[in-house]
Structure 1
Amino acid sequence: MVLIKHLPRDSALQRDLHGEAAEWSVTDHLLAAVVDHLAVANWMFSCVNSAEDGDTPEFPQPVPRPGAEEDEEKDAEGSGADGAAGAPDGGEAPPAVSPGQLARFFG
């Protein structure tokens, strides 16, 4: 079990279990976030400095990340008629956290 648990990220087992997400490191995710933020900043600059009010560029598409399609499908399945997401197992959503519980948690 120890050998399997500590296999490298690019091993066949990790790729089979996690798909493309196994090949993405923290650095890859951070780099994708930087690219997305830069694209949004350029879009904002272009919108603010455009000569005509009606001529706004299209909002930039984010860099595709592994598992993004699965997350979108889960969000679509989990949302009810009012658009609120339900519990992951299809049951009732967990109760809201009270301010007292937050104060105790953050001490």
Structure 2
Amino acid sequence: MLLRHLPRDSAVARELHGEAAEWSVSDYLLATAVDQLAEANWMFATVNQDEHADALEYPVPVRRPGEVDTGVEDAGPGQTSEEGREMPDSTVLHRFFG
């Protein structure tokens, strides 16, 4: 019973849950907001860049606790995300945002 009420950053919680014990729900929500903002900025910059410019690099998401770094970047334009959605390329973004 006493173990259940230990602080989130206690040694027992870190041993049981690893790095995730240090992240609260607010931390996960903030990381998601940062990822969405980076993606929106990437879309804006892609749509507004010169047509002959090189494609901009897709933003790398904030690493969450417990994720293993595989060295493979997340899906970018022209690739398929984990959810099965095709990521937009500059042509699709130009058509959408006009």
Q: Specify the TM-score bucket, using the shorter chain as the normaliser.
A: 0.5 to 0.7
Identity among equivalent pairs (%): 61
2:2 aligned counterpart, secondary structure: helix
- How much has 1:52 moved relative to structure 2? 2.0
Structure possessing the higher radius of gyration over alpha carbons: 1
Unaligned runs of 5+ in 2: 71-98
Rounded to whole Å, the distance in 2 between the matches of 1:53 and 1:43 is 17
- Please give the root-mean-square deviation of Cα atoms over the aligned residues, in Å: 1.6
Rounded to whole Å, the distance in 2 between the matches of 1:11 and 1:65 is 19
TM-score normalised by structure 2 residue count: 0.66
Unaligned runs of 5+ in 1: 73-107
Rounded to whole Å, the distance in 2 between the matches of 1:16 and 1:6 is 15
Q: Say if 2:37 is the partner of 1:51.
A: no
TM-score normalised by structure 1 residue count: 0.61
Compare relative contact order (CA 8 Å, sep 6+) and give the higher one, 1 or 2: 2
Q: Say if 2:62 is the partner of 1:63.
A: yes
